[in-house]
Amino acid sequence: MTTPTGGYGAASPARARAFDDVMSASRPGRVTLKAIMYINGQQFAESPIFNSGTQPGPNSTYALRGNRSQEMRMSRNDAEVQALDWAEERARSVTNRDEVRSVQVDLVADTGACNGCKTRQQMLADRVGQLFPRTNGRVAVKPNYDDYSPHSATDGRRDFSTGQVLSTYGYNDATRRTNSYTADNNPEAHATYWQRAHVPGGSAGVVDPSQINRATRTTPPTSDRDSPKFPSSSSNTSGDSPPRRQSPPQSAAQQSAATAQSQQPPPKPGGHSKSGKDKKGKGRKH
């Protein structure tokens, strides 16, 4: 997919489409997520929709089956596990890794990640940084999630018998962003969301339930017009071609669907729902 005209980086229109897809597919009681990978500032791959409640395959890296902590066991079937496995597979499909100067993985979801998946997302950032040594730290895994709550972190899973909160969804240190493509092309639609970046060697951003920041945010959201962009990185705006791939490790049907999806023009965005209980998806206005 090439960068659309209108002065946008590759990520702003891609996030508009991904939020539209995610919120259209969202259902109560589950998390819905889509992943997008950018290499050298250009879109490299886009995943299908992933939903929580799906058991990962036997070769899953991010299921972390050897980790027996309660948090990891509770979150093993989360949508993030499937998305992170997908992202690492796509990263490993790159053959000419010395040509890679920057990598960004967007995770677009209707809800922020639990503490277990925060740890998994940090693990992906660390592993991708090792996979592409010439990025010199210009690697980021960025969860982007609906801001139906005025707080970037909220109560997560509870103990069914005691009601005790066992985990946290989202991050205390997330920032609020405006999707510029949506704001410019459909100004009546909801265009803001929460975002947090995992970088190699960084913090997972785990939030103890007792430490949730419940203060209302007053800082204005920042634009994502130029995303993906890294400090001191010329490759993100130089138009470098994405690197070559090996044969994708996916079925013929999956490959055909992904190709058709990547050829779609950027949408006239409908925005995404402001309400965690009313996620109607495409075309909803606020």
187-196 pLDDT per residue, tens = 999 999 999 9
pLDDT at 242: 55
The percent of residues above 90 in pLDDT, for the chain, comes to 57
Is residue 275 in a domain?
no
Confidence of residue 67 (pLDDT cuts 50, 70, 90): confident
Helix axes 115-131, 79-92, angle to 10 degrees: 0
CB 19, CB 271: distance < 8 Å: yes
Q: What angle do CA 8, 11, 17 make, to 5 degrees?
A: 100
pLDDT at 272: 65
CB 141, CB 33: distance < 8 Å: no
How large is the average pLDDT for residues 52-75?
A: 88
pLDDT at 236: 40
Is residue 115 in a domain?
yes
For 115-141, how does the pLDDT look when each residue is reduced to its tens digit (9 = 90+)?
Answer: 999 999 999 999 999 999 999 989 999
Is residue 285 in a domain?
no
The percent of residues above 70 in pLDDT, for the chain, comes to 77
pLDDT for residue 256 is more than 50: no
Confidence of residue 144 (pLDDT cuts 50, 70, 90): very high
CA–CA dist 159, 151 (Å, integer): 22
CA–CA dist 175, 270 (Å, integer): 22
For 207-247, how does the pLDDT look when each residue is reduced to its tens digit (9 = 90+)?
Answer: 998 899 887 778 899 999 999 988 654 334 334 555 655 43
Is residue 270 in a domain?
no
60: containing domain? 11-262
Domain count, the chain: 1
Q: Provide the phi-psi class of 81: left if phi over 0, else alpha when psi is between -120 and 50, else beta.
A: alpha
Q: Which helix (H) or strand (E) holds 88?
A: helix 79-92
pLDDT at 243: 60
Which residue(s) pair with 222 in the sheet? 177
Tell me how far CA of residue 218 lies from CA of 177, 226, 273, in angstroms. Answer: 13, 23, 20
Start-to-end C-alpha separation, the chain: 30
pLDDT at 25: 94
pLDDT at 267: 46
Show Cβ contacts of residue 59 under 8 Å, excluding neighbours closer than 6 positions.
Answer: none
For 154-181, how does the pLDDT look when each residue is reduced to its tens digit (9 = 90+)?
Answer: 887 776 677 677 788 999 999 999 999 9
Q: Which helix (H) or strand (E) holds 50?
A: strand 50-51
Please state which of the ranges 44-58, 92-106, 240-254 shows the lowest mean pLDDT.
240-254
pLDDT at 226: 94
pLDDT for residue 152 is more than 90: yes
Is residue 91 in a domain?
yes
How large is the average pLDDT for residues 195-207?
A: 96
pLDDT at 282: 31
Confidence of residue 252 (pLDDT cuts 50, 70, 90): very low
Cα–chain-centroid distance for residue 259? 20
